[in-house]
């Protein structure tokens, strides 16, 4: 997941055109059948790409099938996206298993098989921070991402006389002042042009620390109208973000940088801190950097937030002729060690499967980030990553774009935190209709 539109990778990457179905000679939604003896054929929709090659899928499918004897998988190649999955279900061509990753929409229509929490727990799943729809699970949350954390340049901290990451918000501001006095931009915050979505991470972080740590269900309550953005706790969080920029604690060029340029600016030492999702660990570790650390955005009380979104991952067609077997196979695929290793190495995913061992060769920043996640779980400081979750407590359709645009105005001083919050209430109500 890199943007507000990004989904947790969980083996859901890129997509081929729908025409690829014809090219492969596969037919989406071929009914499950008994081939010989007790063997059952199940169809599995995948996307092939330069990263997820035909050989990758064939090997991964073979490993899962070995764990579930009696199943033969018919691989179907096509667009592995939520929108395409909706089309397949609407046309009666849905496969038995697919990995579109977002069950929202299909689940409410009764199209997807449900997993009980007991089933997921028995399979080793350990994180249930988000991912439910009407309180039920329709996917397999084997991988999570923290959105956002704060990455920091240890060399720049040392240059400014800062010996450790801040534990409280007051300490964060003190560090910002020290960095600014040393001629170092404290934060890389921004996102210009088509990448304005990247401006939202600082707000996501402050709201997580100041609002959700105290009340993890805040956005579920907002969905029901029990709380509002114009309530003091949300306005206060918005005011913090606006003040950071107003006080000159952000790179002045940040608001015009593309997402790629923001990342490169931070890696090049243009700023000391960078609010970004956990996938950034793959970029830093890929460059063999040793001077980057990570911490959760601190609240006033000293309790840092780890906003987490758990990917839905594999989904099963509720109308499959072999639902129970399809669910069992999907669980085997989703919890396969090599598949999980791939999500860690290429995308910095946090594996939420019991007794999972991080593969050898993973970089130091990933290990530090994962250790921080484990600590947050122990301290009960994980909260739903409110800008990115789907299902229960998710922002309504179309609202996110309004939020991002208004957030740019907040950061650039074109609106006040109070007006910003009132506008969000208006747009949220309109989006719910």
pLDDT at 29 over 60: no
Question: For the purposes of burial, counting CB atoms within 10 Å of the CB of 164, is it exposed (0-12), middle (13-18) or buried (19 or more)?
Answer: exposed
- Pairing between β-strand 292-295 and β-strand 350-351 as defined by DSSP bridges: unpaired
pLDDT for position 101: 64
Q: Could you count the other beta carbons within 10 Å of the beta carbon of residue 433? A: 5
239-248, 296-305, 359-368: which is most confident: 239-248
pLDDT for position 18: 28
pLDDT at 297 over 80: yes
pLDDT at 342 over 70: yes
Residue 80 pLDDT level (bands cut at 50, 70, 90) = low
pLDDT for position 32: 45
Taking only the tens place, the pLDDT of each residue in 198-214 is 999 999 999 999 999 99
Structure tokens at 238: 């918005």
pLDDT for position 72: 95
Q: What is the Cα gyration radius of the chain? A: 22
- Pairing between β-strand 71-77 and β-strand 40-46 as defined by DSSP bridges: parallel
Residue 373 pLDDT level (bands cut at 50, 70, 90) = very high
pLDDT for position 207: 97
Taking only the tens place, the pLDDT of each residue in 391-400 is 888 899 889 9
In whole angstroms, give the CA distance from residue 132 to residue 324.
20
* Of the candidates 236, 218, 235, the residue with the CA atom closest to the CA atom of residue 227: 218
Average pLDDT over residues 94-100: 87
In whole angstroms, give the CA distance from residue 66 to residue 163.
51
174-197 in b/e form (b: 16+ CB < 10 A) is ebbebbbeeebbbbbbbbbeebbb
In whole angstroms, give the CA distance from residue 17 to residue 15.
7
3-class SS string, the chain: CCCCCCCCCCCCCCCCCCCHHHHHCCCCCCCCEECCCCCEEEEEEECCCCCCCHHHHHHHHHHHHHHCCCEEEEEEECCCCHHHHHHHHHCCCCCCEECCCCCCCCHHHCCECCECHHHHHHCCECCCCCCEECCEECCCCCEEEECCEEEEEHHHHHHCCCCCCCCCHHHHHHHHHHHHHCCCEEECCCCCHHHHHHHHHHHHHHHHHHHHCCCCCHHHHHHHCCCCCCCHHHHHHHHHHHHHHHCCCECCCHHHCCHHHHHHHHHCCCEEEEEECCCHHHHHHHCCCCCEEEECCECCCCCECEEEEECCCCEEECCCCCHHHHHHHHHHHHCCHHHHHHHHHHHCCEECECCCCCCCCCCHHHHHHHHHHHHHHHCCCEEECCCCCCCCCCCCCCHHHHHHHHHHHHHCCCCCHHHHHHHHHHHHHHHHC
* Distance (Å) of CA 42 to CA 28, 36, 330: 11, 13, 11
* Cα 18 to chain centroid, rounded: 26
* Cα 331 to chain centroid, rounded: 20
* Cα 260 to chain centroid, rounded: 18
In whole angstroms, give the CA distance from residue 322 to residue 333.
16
Q: Which domains does the chain have, with CATH numbers?
A: 20-144+311-362 (3.40.190.10), 148-276+395-432 (3.40.190.10)
CA dihedral 174, 179, 183, 185 (to 10 degrees): -110
């Amino acid at each position: 997941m890199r943007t507000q539109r990004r989904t947790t990778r969980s083996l859901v990457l890129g997509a081929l055109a729908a025409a690829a179905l014809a090219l492969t000679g596969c037919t989406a939604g071929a009914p499950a059948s008994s081939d010989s003896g007790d063997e059952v054929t199940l169809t599995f929709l995948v996307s092939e790409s330069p990263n997820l090659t035909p050989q990758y899928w064939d090997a991964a499918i073979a490993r899962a099938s070995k764990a579930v004897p009696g199943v033969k998988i018919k691989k179907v190649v096509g667009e592995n996206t939520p929108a395409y999955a909706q089309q397949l279900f609407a046309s009666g061509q849905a496969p038995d298993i697919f990995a579109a990753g977002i069950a929202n929409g299909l689940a409410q229509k009764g199209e997807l098989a449900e997993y009980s929490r007991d089933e997921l727990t028995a399979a080793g799943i350990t994180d249930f921070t988000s991912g439910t729809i009407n309180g039920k699970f329709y996917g397999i949350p084997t991988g999570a991402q923290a959105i956002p954390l704060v990455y920091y340049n240890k060399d720049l901290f040392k240059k400014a006389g800062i010996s450790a990451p801040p534990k409280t918000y007051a300490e964060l501001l003190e560090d910002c002042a020290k960095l600014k006095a040393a001629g170092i931009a404290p934060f890389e915050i921004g996102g210009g042009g088509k990448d304005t979505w990247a401006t939202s991470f600082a707000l996501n972080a402050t709201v997580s620390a100041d609002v959700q740590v105290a009340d993890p269900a805040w956005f579920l309550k907002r969905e029901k109208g029990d709380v509002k953005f114009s309530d003091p706790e949300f306005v206060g969080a918005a005011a913090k973000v606006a003040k950071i920029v107003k006080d000159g604690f952000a790179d002045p060029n940040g608001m015009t940088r593309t997402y790629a340029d923001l990342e490169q600016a931070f890696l090049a030492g243009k700023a000391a801190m960078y609010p970004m999702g956990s996938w950034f660990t793959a970029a830093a570790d890929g460059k063999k950097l040793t001077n980057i650390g990570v911490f959760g955005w601190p609240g006033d009380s000293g309790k840092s937030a780890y906003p987490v979104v758990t990917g839905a991952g594999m989904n099963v067609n509720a109308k499959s002729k072999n639902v129970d077997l399809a669910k069992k196979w999907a669980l085997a695929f989703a919890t396969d060690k090599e598949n999980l290793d791939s999500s860690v190495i290429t995308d910095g995913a946090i594996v939420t499967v019991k007794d999972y061992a991080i593969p050898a060769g993973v970089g130091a920043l990933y290990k530090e980030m994962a250790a921080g996640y484990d600590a947050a779980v122990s301290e009960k400081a994980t909260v739903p990553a409110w800008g990115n979750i789907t299902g229960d407590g998710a922002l309504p359709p179309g609202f996110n774009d309004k939020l991002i645009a208004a957030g740019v105005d907040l950061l650039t001083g074109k609106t006040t935190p109070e007006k910003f919050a009132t506008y969000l209430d208006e747009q949220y109500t309109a989006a719910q209709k």
